[in-house]
Copies of this chain bind each other. A is one copy, B any other.
Amino acid sequence: MVRFGECDPAGVVYFPNYFDWFHQAMESWFEHGLGRPYAEVLQHVGFPAVHTEADFRRPCRQGEHLDIEIRVGELGKKRFRLDYRVLGSEGKVRATGATVCAVIAQVEGDGFAFRSVSIPEDLRERIKQFI
């Protein structure tokens, strides 16, 4: 449901909130789609966004019930792209978007340094099923 606090004085969703929704959809997908709770996976690797974009086709208003679809658009060795569609309950596409995530791991012995790594094999197998 679109929350009061997500809408702006024009009465529609303030657009940076779509990216928050995309990330929330990704977190739910890790837990319910991949069967690996996001918070647990983050103990080992991180997924910083390196690119993201969205196209807004029709506004979303307070109180509306929306669905967010998620699909794996690309699965590379060290990064993947997730594609999103925001659908109104009437079935029309309100917005589409995508996020390219890199995969990183903490450098041993340095809490603040990270390096690019390959997607863990087990996780890759699970992600593959959503292409």
Structural contact, A63 and B40, CB atoms closer than 8 A: yes
The yes or no answer to A107 lying at the interface (CB within 8 A) is no
Measured between beta carbons, the chain B residues less than 8 angstroms from A15 are: 19, 23, 48-49, 52
Contact A62:B9 (CB < 8 A) given known A49-B56, A54-B51: yes
**A38/B4 contact (C-beta < 8 A), A16-B20, A51-B56, A56-B49 known:** yes
Complex Cα distance, B3 from A39, in Å, reads 9
| Assembly CA distance A23 to B8 (angstroms) | 12
Known: A37-B63, A39-B63, A54-B53. A14 touches B5 (CB 8 A): yes
CB closest chain-B residue, reference A112: B11
Asked whether any CB of chain B lies closer than 8 Å to the CB of A27, the reply is yes
Q: Is A48 within 8 A of B38, CB to CB?
A: no
> Given the known A-B contacts A3-B23, A14-B5, are A50 and B55 also in contact in the complex, defined by CB atoms under 8 Å?
yes
Which residues in B have their C-beta under 8 angstroms from that of A118?
Answer: none
Decide yes or no: A14 and B4 within 8 Å by CB, A50-B56, A53-B54, A59-B48 being known contacts: yes
Q: Which of A9-50 contact B (CB under 8 A)?
A: 9-12, 14-17, 19-20, 23-24, 27-28, 31, 37-40, 42, 46, 48-50
The residue from B4, B19, B28 contacting A8, defined by CB atoms under 8 A apart: B4
